[in-house]
């Protein structure tokens, strides 16, 4: 499907992006580089979507579906520990989640797809999205109208997955990745002397009660047939050994596999905190910092991805799995809330570092599998009639 020169260009692009990582909404070098290459290939390119996003379109002029393919571009604020030739040149930033590989794979697909334009019908949109890492870039791309004019019929994306065989292509129909909600809980008590706690109202003690009781939402409010987890990721209060502070702040992270699980967990958080604070006479405030919905793959499109991948032989190992491979969040879920589609996975190798780790690196050997799946989807779904 790809010749040696195309593969070499894709690897070179991946290494270039890895050397020059850019954080969420700062992907200016990346987006400019991609836009120039896409324009040179013959795509109609729109820049500056959701600040730094890029959309490349191919209108075949023939009837057919509107298909969208997506890659994310942003890096993470992590100091890279690898010493490879393509190590990050910007201390404190690295591509620790493989978005450099996701982008390179979609660019490789773009090159192969444009060569097949005379055999395609319909309209293709290639979405290079900013700020997947905590910036809800997908939501902002949707708000900017990338799924409209013309309206997208189906959308596809992928993520590399460490811990799975290199090049293994797999799909989880239904709930495939967790939703993510982060809340800031502020408990306001009354400061006082550590020797006289009865004259104070201790927010640390009240916060500790919250830390313990919040797990009851997982154990007794969420169905055991649904997945979900609550983590108190930060607890800050006071800085002196002989003082009971007046306030405590907690960051509560909730992961859920469905709207039902989210309602059981996030939907009851305020009531639980309020009940505990009320019992002790404390005041509280809750601020919702971020929401990413659970990623739910359309069952029919999931099966079509598997069937097309097998038909085109994009990988020697193609499987449908019946379990969630991760509770990690993925803002591709915002697209799937609007149009049907499928987010598939490609194994990054069984022994390398996991995502968001200082030793992580994208496996270049999986580029033709990911890109080949994109090309196969276009060839099959957009075949000129």
Binding-site entries for Mn(2+): 97, 99, 133, 159, 356
Task: Write phi, then psi, for 364 (nearest 5 degrees).
Answer: -60, -25
- Please give the Cα distance from 206 to 172 (Å, whole number): 41
- Please give the Cα distance from 43 to 39 (Å, whole number): 5
Closest CA to 17 of 104, 115, 136: 104
| Tokens, residue 134 | 């905590």
Strand stretches in the chain, DSSP E: 44-49, 53-59, 66-72, 123-129, 154-161, 169-171, 174-177, 179-188, 192-193, 228-236, 243-244, 247-256, 283-292, 295-297, 318-320, 341-347
345-348-353 Cα angle (round to 5): 125
Q: What would the DSSP string read from start to end of 20-82? A: S---TT--HHHHHHHHHHHHHHT-EEEEEETTTEEEEEEE-SSS--EEEEEEE---BS-----
Contact 17, 378 (CB under 8 A): no
Contact 323, 178 (CB under 8 A): no
What is the dihedral angle through the alpha carbons of 369, 371, 377, 379, rounded to the nearest 10 degrees?
-110
Closest CA to 210 of 228, 232, 233, 189: 232
Q: Can you say which residues are annotated as belonging to the binding site? A: 97, 99, 133, 159, 356
- Please give the Cα distance from 265 to 207 (Å, whole number): 18
Element (H, E) at 168: none
Distance in Å from the first CA to the final CA of the chain: 22
Neighbours of 204 (CB within 10 A): 17
Q: Which residues have a Cβ under 8 Å from the Cβ of 85 and sit 6 or more positions away?
A: 15
């Amino acid at each position: 499907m790809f010749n040696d020169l195309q593969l070499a260009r894709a690897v070179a692009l991946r290494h270039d992006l890895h050397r020059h990582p850019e954080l969420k909404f700062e992907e200016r070098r990346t987006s400019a580089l991609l836009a120039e290459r896409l324009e040179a290939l013959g795509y109609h390119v729109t820049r500056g979507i959701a600040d730094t996003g890029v959309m490349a379109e191919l209108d075949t002029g023939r009837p057919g579906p509107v298909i969208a393919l997506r890659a994310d571009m942003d890096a993470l604020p992590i100091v890279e520990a690898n010493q490879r030739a393509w190590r990050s040149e910007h201390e404190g930033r690295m591509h620790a989640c493989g978005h450099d590989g996701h982008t390179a794979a979609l660019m490789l697909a773009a090159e192969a797809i444009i060569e097949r334009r005379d055999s395609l019908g319909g309209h293709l949109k290639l979405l290079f999205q900013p700020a997947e890492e905590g910036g809800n870039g997908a939501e902002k791309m949707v708000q900017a109208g990338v799924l409209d004019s013309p309206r997208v019929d189906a959308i596809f994306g992928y993520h590399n997955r460490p811990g799975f065989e290199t090049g293994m292509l797999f799909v989880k129909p239904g709930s495939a990745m967790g939703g993510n909600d982060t809340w800031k809980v502020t408990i306001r008590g009354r400061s006082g002397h550590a020797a006289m706690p009865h004259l104070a109202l201790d927010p640390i003690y009240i916060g500790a009660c919250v830390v313990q009781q919040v797990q009851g939402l997982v154990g007794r409010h969420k169905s055991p047939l649904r997945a979900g987890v609550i983590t108190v990721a930060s607890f800050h209060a006071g800085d002196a050994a002989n003082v009971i502070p007046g306030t405590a702040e907690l960051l509560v992270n909730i992961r859920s596999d469905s709207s039902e699980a989210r309602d059981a967990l996030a939907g009851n958080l305020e009531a639980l905190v309020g009940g505990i604070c009320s019992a002790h006479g404390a005041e509280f405030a809750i601020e919702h910092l971020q929401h990413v919905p659970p990623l739910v793959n359309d069952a029919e499109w999931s099966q079509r991805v598997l069937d097309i991948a097998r038909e085109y032989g994009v990988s020697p190992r193609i499987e449908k799995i019946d379990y969630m491979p991760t509770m990690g969040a993925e803002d591709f879920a915002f697209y799937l809330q609007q149009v049907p589609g499928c987010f598939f996975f490609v194994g990054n190798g069984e022994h390398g570092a996991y995502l968001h780790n200082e030793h992580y690196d994208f496996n270049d050997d999986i580029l033709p599998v990911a890109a080949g799946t994109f090309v196969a989807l276009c060839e099959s779904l957009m075949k000129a009639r």
